[in-house]
Structure 1
Amino acid sequence: MLDDRAKMLLKTLVERYIADGQPVGSRTLSRTSGLELSPATIRNVMSDLEELGLIVSPHTSAGRVPTARGYRMFVDAMLTTRVQGAGRDAVDTLPAPLIEPDQPKRVIANAAQVLSSLSHFVGVITTPRKPSVFRHMEFLRLGERRILLILVSPDGDVQNRVLFTAKDYGQGELQEASNYLNSHCAGLSIEAMRERIKSEVDTLRVEISTLMQSAVQAGSEAVDEESQRVVVVGERNLLEVSDFGTDLGSLRKMFDVFEQKTQLMRLLDGSSRAEGVSIYIGGETGVVPFEELSVVSAPYEVHGQIVGTLGVIGPTRMAYDRMIQIVDVTARLVGNALSQK
């Protein structure tokens, strides 16, 4: 536990380092902390903070910089955010497509662009999670042992799948299977459809049952293909960050993370289960295993249900109060826009 004096000096040091990007010395802390302390006292406190692993002294400077642990304490215990000021700017500069619900894909793309533009770092957003439910299924005969399966989701999205069957079905048989599925399975999840067909297999003709099982399998594959994706914008902004702009090894590893988007999906999926804004600092996660990177993220809701996550990825030396406001406001606006669809 830190006393109030140590907390104030740590807070001041982190804020100065975020603002200036230079190691902070005892003289600077004496001028800016507002505490009437001698340089010797400040040096003693800084030594204590260093022993606790909250700050560190670079080899090239007598000043100190915060560690990932120091940033975490700063964010968790000391940071106060306001929805005015810098965060309010986010609302004023959002483009119309983010607010208009006409084109959901543009809302998602523009949200990632806005996050990147306002933060000057990397903007990420997952596309809305789609339920594995179909409103309507239709079979059409394409030729011998080739069938077109038409899948219509509750929101009107249409997907087509070509089925290759062992038996040649007539259009009458295909219509029979369509009628059964639409009468008994419309609105069910893929798993529920599979279980219902299994439970009623004795009452169905073998050929029709086989065709329905093929349709359920194709529907499951369609859901997997249309599952959540992550949109990433602004990776090149990290090249301009002085903290690691000259470290080619770190940059290469970071760009690998952005290319392997399944890793980002795991991170964002974790923050989708949290309430409000989440902050991951330095190497706190195996997904972004770099001391120099932090992630500020928040889930967004459609009709009261969490369907995706968005956020900003940047250096640990970022203005966390501003990033929190940008992410929070954008998440609310994306949710509002998509809920109007």
Structure 2
Amino acid sequence: MQLDHRAQTLLKALVERYIADGQPVGSRALSKISGLDLSPATIRNIMADLEEMGFVASPHTSAGRVPTPRGYRLFVDTLLTVQAIDESALESKLQLQLQNKTPQKIIANAAQVLSSLSQFAGVVLTPRHDSTFQQIEFLRLSEKRILLVIVSPNGDVQNRLLITECDYSPAQLIQAANYINQHYAGHSFDEVRTHLQGELRQLRDDMTALMQAAVEAGSDALAEDDGVVISGERNLLSVSDLASNMTSLRKLFDLFEQKTGLMQLLDMSSKATGVQIFIGGESQLVPVEEMSLVTAPYGVNGKVVGTLGVIGPTRMAYERVIPIVDITAKLLSSALSHS
């Protein structure tokens, strides 16, 4: 729905004032801060129209108005003026945290940087690991204890301990590894599982058990490092909009603990380009009405591999958080591409 210039100006002024002090904004205050030469009656009429259209609401305790999720959405999509920040100073600070470290440490530091700069929670959806393997090996450690060694196509190595029901000889372990490597190198463990269901009937039962155990352990090994890195959750306990509502706070920390919904939200944002803003209350994607998530995708060598962002209240300074998220995503991409 299109708003005329006066309505847009008043809505922008209302949202900015409400973000700044958290108090409902009345017509008298809007007449002073909007810069419009309008009578109080005209302003009241425009605000009534905005309320009818769902962009603002009137709390029962005040004659002033506050933005709704729909009002925040219009604000961030069309009315927001992103704050000019000293990019070179911010980049210098970030580069110290993100360079010359392992990829895991770089990602953890990125979440910490987002949290410290925003004073909210920083989140990073870690890159999905390649689910395929190039080679496996079985190493006999002792009776019924075998080390499964998994080598990915890019050379990463994962180890998993297998506890077996029978003791395998070194020759049997070599035979089993050779069979899997010869037939399935370059495939995912899920693909191996599907094919082996038929083929293993032709093998001895004890070898079948070993290969099935290897497939399950290998699949778990390559999947378990995928997830979300979160930093600064405790910062949100100091945000009055969130901390004052125990139900919302519980939903928020359930989101952090379970992570599945947060991963889906971050994964969805990785399919878009540039900064995305998810506002609570406007969809079921964000389970907490008072929460917003500002995200941006990051990549390695030009390929998007994950998403990072800031979780905070809907009443956050978007004009400041957006460039923080945007620049951090670019620097994380650069650091990972050169790590």
- With the length of structure 2 as denominator, give the TM-score of the two structures: 0.88
| 1:288 aligned residue (280, 286, 295) | 286
User: Considering only aligned residues, what root-mean-square deviation do their CA atoms show, in Å?
Assistant: 2.6
Query: 2:72 matched to which residue of 1?
Result: 71
Q: CA deviation at 1:117?
A: 0.9
Q: Which piece of structure 1 moves more, 5-14 or 180-189? A: 180-189
Query: 1:36 matched to which residue of 2?
Result: 37
Q: Which piece of structure 1 moves more, 213-222 or 320-329? A: 213-222
Contact 1:282 1:294 in 2 (8 A): yes
Contact 2:82 2:318 in 1 (8 A): no
The one-letter amino acid of 2:231's match is: V
Question: Do residues 185 (structure 1) and 184 (structure 2) align?
Answer: yes
Contact 1:132 1:220 in 2 (8 A): yes
Query: Residues 88 and 33 (structure 1 numbering): CA distance in 2 closer, same or farther, change over 3 Å?
Result: farther
Q: CA deviation at 1:211?
A: 4.0
Q: CA deviation at 1:201?
A: 5.9
| 2:268 aligned residue (264, 270, 278) | 270
Query: Residues 58 and 72 (structure 1 numbering): CA distance in 2 closer, same or farther, change over 3 Å?
Result: same
Query: 2:297 matched to which residue of 1?
Result: 299
The one-letter amino acid of 1:70's match is: G
The one-letter amino acid of 2:160's match is: R
Q: Which piece of structure 1 moves more, 122-131 or 150-159? A: 150-159
The one-letter amino acid of 2:12's match is: K
Q: Which piece of structure 1 moves more, 329-338 or 201-210? A: 201-210
Q: CA deviation at 1:199?
A: 7.6
SS in 2 for 1:317: coil
**Residues in 1 aligned to 2:336 and 2:259: alpha-carbon distance in whole angstroms:** 23
The one-letter amino acid of 2:99's match is: I
Q: Deviations over 1:135-170 (max 9, x none)?
A: 321112234444322112234433223334455432
Contact 2:138 2:147 in 1 (8 A): yes
Structure 2 gaps of 5+ residues are: none
Question: Do residues 47 (structure 1) and 48 (structure 2) align?
Answer: yes
**Residues in 1 aligned to 2:86 and 2:41: alpha-carbon distance in whole angstroms:** 36
Query: 1:224 matched to which residue of 2?
Result: 223
1:1-341 matches, within 5 Å, as 1=1, 2-81=3-82, 84-85=84-85, 90-94=90-94, 96-100=96-100, 102-165=101-164, 168-194=167-193, 211-226=210-225, 228-341=226-339
Q: Deviations over 1:45-75 (max 9, x none)?
A: 0111111121122233322211111101111
SS in 1 for 2:281: helix
SS in 2 for 1:94: helix
Q: Deviations over 1:56-96 (max 9, x none)?
A: 222333222111111011112222436x4266654243251
SS in 1 for 2:161: strand
Query: Residues 107 and 10 (structure 1 numbering): CA distance in 2 closer, same or farther, change over 3 Å?
Result: same
Q: CA deviation at 1:318?
A: 1.0
Q: CA deviation at 1:315?
A: 1.0
The one-letter amino acid of 1:10's match is: L
Query: Residues 54 and 191 (structure 1 numbering): CA distance in 2 closer, same or farther, change over 3 Å?
Result: same
Q: CA deviation at 1:14?
A: 1.0
Q: CA deviation at 1:130?
A: 0.5
Q: Deviations over 1:262-300 (max 9, x none)?
A: 232222222222222211112234353222111111221
**Residues in 1 aligned to 2:275 and 2:298: alpha-carbon distance in whole angstroms:** 10
**Residues in 1 aligned to 2:204 and 2:88: alpha-carbon distance in whole angstroms:** 63
SS in 2 for 1:150: strand
SS in 2 for 1:297: strand
The one-letter amino acid of 1:25's match is: G
Q: Which piece of structure 1 moves more, 289-298 or 277-286? A: 277-286
Contact 1:99 1:333 in 2 (8 A): no
SS in 2 for 1:62: coil
**Residues in 1 aligned to 2:246 and 2:161: alpha-carbon distance in whole angstroms:** 47
**Residues in 2 aligned to 1:338 and 1:186: alpha-carbon distance in whole angstroms:** 27
**Residues in 2 aligned to 1:153 and 1:252: alpha-carbon distance in whole angstroms:** 39
Aligned length: 338
Q: Which piece of structure 1 moves more, 213-222 or 165-174? A: 165-174
**Residues in 2 aligned to 1:67 and 1:272: alpha-carbon distance in whole angstroms:** 26
**Residues in 2 aligned to 1:247 and 1:205: alpha-carbon distance in whole angstroms:** 61
SS in 2 for 1:163: strand
Structure 1 gaps of 5+ residues are: none
**Residues in 2 aligned to 1:164 and 1:248: alpha-carbon distance in whole angstroms:** 45
The one-letter amino acid of 1:136's match is: Q
Query: Residues 93 and 23 (structure 1 numbering): CA distance in 2 closer, same or farther, change over 3 Å?
Result: farther
**Residues in 1 aligned to 2:129 and 2:270: alpha-carbon distance in whole angstroms:** 15
SS in 2 for 1:93: helix
Contact 2:129 2:223 in 1 (8 A): no
Query: Residues 292 and 145 (structure 1 numbering): CA distance in 2 closer, same or farther, change over 3 Å?
Result: closer
